[in-house]
Amino acid sequence: MASYSFDVTTGADLQEVDNAVNQTMKEVIQRYDFKGSKCTLDFDRANALLKLEADDEYRMKAFFDILQAKLIRRKVPLKNLKIGDDEEAGGSRIRKEIGLIQSISGDTAREIVKAVKAQKLKKVQVAIQGDQLRVSSPSKDQLQEVMGFLRDGDWGIELKFGNYR
């Protein structure tokens, strides 16, 4: 009897994030309300971390709104942003750090496994494999049911389905 499976992962395409950062900086340079301000946006690709710095709270809010719009346009899931609080950076400047969630955490993975098992679908197996989940079953229909269930749920992150076989 054949067994079918798919993988559940999460993450943002870092190249698209980089493109969104570049577009954000271009727009900030051209906008009238940012003339004379020293707003900076650094993207630490290795740690998947964005660092924003602005002159005041008003500019930080506008700066962050521009960044979000560019990320949406580049199809980067905003659910995967771990937004830090505004903090003082000295000289009335404001700093904000935004982390990008690139993998399913252990707690979230266990929560998903528990929820899928609670659906009581026969012969559906969910295995945690590092930072992803593998869902397998002899029935393709049940796999489709699990996919629909996972899409409808709010897991705090954007789920991606791949490696369907």
Map out the domains of the chain as residue ranges: 4-9+104-162, 14-100
Q: Is the CB of residue 89 less than 8 Å from the CB of residue 95? A: yes
pLDDT of 4 reads 87
Question: How many other β-carbons are positioned within 10 Å of the β-carbon of residue 93?
Answer: 17
Question: How many other β-carbons are positioned within 10 Å of the β-carbon of residue 46?
Answer: 6
Helix (H/G/I), strand (E/B), else coil: 69: helix
Residue whose pair of structure tokens reads 């079953």 in the numeric block: 137
Measure CA 156 to chain center: 9
Which CATH number, 3.30.70.990, 3.40.50.20, 3.40.50.300, 3.40.1440.10, labels domain 14-100? 3.30.70.990
Q: pLDDT tens for residues 77-89?
A: 888 899 988 888 7
Give the whole-number percent of the chain exceeding pLDDT 90.
25
Bigger pLDDT: 69 or 165?
69
pLDDT of 72 reads 93
Q: pLDDT tens for residues 94-144?
A: 899 999 998 888 888 899 889 888 888 788 888 888 888 898 988 888 888
pLDDT of 1 reads 53
Helices (H) and strands (E) in the chain, counts: 4, 9
Q: pLDDT tens for residues 36-75?
A: 888 889 999 888 899 999 888 888 899 999 999 999 999 9
Q: Is the CB of residue 28 less than 8 Å from the CB of residue 48? A: no
What fold is seen in the domain 4-9+104-162?
A: Alpha-Beta Plaits (3.30.70)
Domains 4-9+104-162 and 14-100 share a fold: yes
